[in-house]
Amino acid sequence: MDNAKQKFFDEMSFPDGTTRSIYAEYAAWLQDVPHQQLESKRQEAELLFRRVGITFNVYGEDAGAERLIPFDVVPRILAAGEWSRLSDGAIQRVRALNMFLHDIYHEREIIKAGIVPATILANPQYRPEMYGVDVPKGIYAHIAGIDLVRTGEKDFYVLEDNLRTPSGVSYMLENRKMMMRLFPELFRRYPIAPMEHYPQVLLNNLRAVAQAGVQEPTVVLLTPGAYNSAYFEHAFIAQQMGIELVEGQDLFVRNNAVYMRTTEGPKRVDVIYRRIDDDFIDPLSFRPDSMLGVPGLLSVYRNGGVTLANAVGTGVADDKDTYIYVPEMIRFYLGEKPILSNVPTYQLSKAGDLKYVLDNLQELVVKEVQGSGGYGMLVGPAASKQELEDFRQRILANPANYIAQPTLALSTCPTLVEKGIAPRHVDLRPFVLSGKTVSLVPGALCRVALREGSLVVNSSQGGGTKDTWILKD
């Protein structure tokens, strides 16, 4: 534990054990609260989450098996100044990524300029169907989740950009509600910026990207259904925005328009906030075995009869192979200096990088180019000899399928564990919304690796979440 304290940046404490100023008030409060009381608050939260049904399904377990994402009662706190830098950096990034997406599906100036190699067009996430298609306001990633990690006082890195169907925002909102319920007295002590208006901001942005001429656009949320792991979130956001939560079977296509089946007959749909992957959205165009999508949807979309958020084909921009070019994109499209840094990344398709990675496997994190959710990933320092060897073989079988990064010294945040309060590694996912404007609400999903020493924060791998407090100036 002492070792850990020296090695990692801690959100609350300096290396000498004294408290950082933004946490001073909280630490003083925490000192007076017995462990037992915190534990009973944690249990109360669990009970409430279960009763409200804030659960997720885990793939590979019994159908209908539902689990809670563990909620930690200790918040992560960020100062106004820290947040404004992160917020500016995330907005800058998303603006550049949207311009990149427009470019790659139109003139491809960035390839012509030699900044991004033409091989990107062979990436499986590149959707040729989208070439030459104009989307309203040129926005592709209406909702983007930017994963950030911290390694030092001023050192934040972007771990990845999530531009397809990023999830987690419901936990950001529900965690805040829970904290206010459990610890109202803390909200009197801290000037915490409100972010409960997220659904309203999202709805305004989605309305703004309806096709020109639509007066009162009808927005719906398209979910794969009640057995999807993120179903709670889909239901939650739809309810918060007051829009219909639809499944593929509820929609149909006629005369270059999308309609939903209602008890009063067909109703036209203008904007679809879809939480179904590209592959499943239209069985006529993509996976023919998909029961989730809407036959003919893509053709209506390409003809401008409906708006999809996020757009089809955004995966080419958040792919781990594309990630390395984002700082260059910012310079190219915006002429600005990137505010947030990338993590140094090795591409195993390059012989030099491959050799370095294989020689230093035990110190690196290796990820599948198209993996997500913490599946199919190797954390070198935490892996056994056998696991390292197995992964080496998998890399050698298809090097281009992997990238590697140094094992980042993720910051720690005090967290309630069995023995009391102990430091655990955290990351941060703010959600950038684009439509009318590009903005984010002052809040983020903070994920925490609950296992001691673990650096993997994904909920599917035993991670939990925390409320994140952005302090007002």
| Cβ 177 to other proteins shortest distance, Å | 11
Task: Using alpha carbons, list the distances in angstroms from residue 185 to 29, 30, 181, 325, 406.
Answer: 10, 12, 10, 46, 41
| Cβ 227 to other proteins shortest distance, Å | 10
Interface residue list for other proteins (CB under 8 A): 50-53, 64, 225-226, 231, 235, 238-239, 244-247, 249-250, 252, 254, 260-266
* CB of 51 or CB of 154, closer to other proteins: 51
Classify each residue of 59-75 as buried b or exposed e, where b means 16 or more C-beta atoms within 10 Å of its C-beta. eeeeeeebebbbbbbbb
Calpha distance 269→139 (Å, rounded): 19
Asked whether the beta carbons of 69 and 464 are under 8 A apart, the reply is yes
| Cβ 232 to other proteins shortest distance, Å | 8
* CB of 64 or CB of 352, closer to other proteins: 64
| Cβ 228 to other proteins shortest distance, Å | 11
198-208 and 231-241 are packed helices; what angle lies between their axes, rounded to 10 degrees?
80
Asked whether the beta carbons of 94 and 141 are under 8 A apart, the reply is yes
| Cβ 248 to other proteins shortest distance, Å | 11
Closest by CA position to 335, among listed 84, 99, 81: 99
* CB of 48 or CB of 324, closer to other proteins: 48
Mapping DSSP to helix (H, G, I), strand (E, B) and coil, where does residue 436 land? Answer: coil
| Cβ 199 to other proteins shortest distance, Å | 12
* CB of 171 or CB of 323, closer to other proteins: 171
* CB of 54 or CB of 159, closer to other proteins: 54
Asked whether the beta carbons of 247 and 287 are under 8 A apart, the reply is no
* CB of 261 or CB of 350, closer to other proteins: 261
* CB of 87 or CB of 240, closer to other proteins: 240
Calpha distance 55→70 (Å, rounded): 10
Q: Give 236-240 contacts, CB < 8 A, sequence gap 24+.
A: 236/54, 236/170, 236/173, 236/174, 237/169, 237/170, 237/199, 237/202, 237/273, 240/173, 240/198, 240/199
| Cβ 48 to other proteins shortest distance, Å | 9
* CB of 10 or CB of 233, closer to other proteins: 233
Closest by CA position to 73, among listed 48, 100, 105, 101: 48
Closest by CA position to 180, among listed 467, 471, 404: 467
What the block records as the tokens of 75 is 């918040």
| Cβ 43 to other proteins shortest distance, Å | 15
| Cβ 350 to other proteins shortest distance, Å | 48
* CB of 110 or CB of 251, closer to other proteins: 251
What the block records as the tokens of 406 is 């140094």
* CB of 147 or CB of 247, closer to other proteins: 247
Calpha distance 425→409 (Å, rounded): 9
β partners of residue 145: 162, 431
DSSP letters of 245-280? EE-GGGEEEETTEEEEEETTEEEEE-EEEE-S-HHH
| Cβ 221 to other proteins shortest distance, Å | 9
What the block records as the tokens of 48 is 């409430």
